[in-house]
């Protein structure tokens, strides 16, 4: 699988599936989640509400992922996942890696060939950027999906993109 680091807005990505850094309510929020619901329109929230009423009555657990339509976005699907809130006292990195692995698995099950990820947990949830990139790239570099041939990590600003590029060089 090819891995790209791009600077940009996740909602503008022309890929089969984009990943949402959601919260367990699936009912929207700020950051990536707010942008996806704003630009994607009400069809996404309608499917999220239906998921809450059926499979996820108590919310989507941290580290898990579920797909909906992408509404008006260029992508075909949104894969919603819930990152862990950063903790200095507890190692929650396995849950963050689960977000990438489970989102990729869901995209693969849908038959997607390209997927774009935001830097999950690195905004409102407070995860240090360098380590967030390290966790993301560790999972993506080891993945061997069946249908997904391109994974894009979308960094919102130039500084985060530069940091991600450095982390990638160190990991290679
Ligand atoms: N495109 C790409 N990246 C973005 C965009 C965008 N449009 N907007 C922000 N980022 P965050 P989290 C970057 O806060 O930390 C919501 O309220 C941002 O700079 O979106 O997982 C949810 O409902 C950061 O690097 O997600 C949850 O309650 C990264 O994307 C909570 O926030 C992730 O920032 C989830 O927090």
* Per-residue model confidence as pLDDT tens digits over 67-109: 999 999 999 999 999 999 999 999 999 999 999 999 999 999 9
- Taking the C-alpha atoms of residue 74 and residue 39, their distance in angstroms, rounded to an integer, is 10
Rounded to two decimals, the pTM is 0.98
What percent of the chain lies above the pLDDT cut of 70?
100
- Which of 7, 28, 62, 123 to mutate to test ligand 1, by most ligand atoms within 8 A of the CB atom? 123
Q: Which numbered atom of ligand 1 lies nearest the CA of 157?
A: 19
Residues assigned a catalytic role:
33
The finding on whether 11 has its CB within 6 A of some atom of ligand 1 is: yes
Digit-coded pLDDT (tens) for 106-128: 999 999 999 999 999 999 999 99
Q: State the chain's mean pLDDT as an integer.
A: 98
pLDDT of the residue at 142: 97
- Taking the C-alpha atoms of residue 158 and residue 172, their distance in angstroms, rounded to an integer, is 21
Q: Which numbered atom of ligand 1 lies nearest the CA of 35?
A: 7
Lookup: tokens for 111: 């038959």
The finding on whether 32 has its CB within 6 A of some atom of ligand 1 is: yes
122 contacts 132 by C-beta, under 8 angstroms:
yes
Query: Of 16, 29, 25, 13, whose CA–CA distance to 108 is shortest?
Result: 16
pLDDT of the residue at 129: 98
| Phi, psi dihedrals of residue 78, rounded to the nearest 5° | -110, 125
User: How far apart are the CA of 33 and the centre of ligand 1, in A?
Assistant: 7
Complex prediction ipTM: 0.99
pLDDT confidence band for 168 (50 / 70 / 90): very high
On the question of pLDDT at 172 being above 90, the answer is: no
């Amino acid at each position: 699988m090819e891995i790209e680091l791009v600077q940009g807005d996740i909602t503008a990505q022309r890929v089969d599936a984009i990943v949402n850094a959601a919260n367990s309510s699936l009912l929207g929020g700020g950051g990536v989640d707010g942008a996806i619901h704003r630009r994607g329109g009400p069809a996404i929230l309608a499917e999220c509400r239906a998921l809450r009423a059926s499979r996820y009555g108590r919310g989507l657990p941290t580290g898990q992922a579920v797909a909906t339509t992408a509404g008006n976005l260029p992508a075909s699907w949104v894969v919603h996942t819930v990152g862990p809130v950063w903790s200095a006292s507890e190692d929650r990195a396995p849950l963050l890696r689960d977000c990438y692995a489970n989102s990729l698995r869901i995209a693969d099950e849908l038959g997607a060939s390209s997927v774009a990820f935001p830097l999950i947990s690195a905004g409102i949830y407070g995860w240090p950027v360098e380590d967030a990139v390290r966790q993301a790239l560790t999972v993506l570099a080891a993945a061997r999906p069946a249908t997904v041939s391109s994974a894009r990590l979308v960094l919102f600003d130039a500084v985060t993109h530069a940091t991600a590029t450095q982390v990638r060089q160190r990991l290679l």
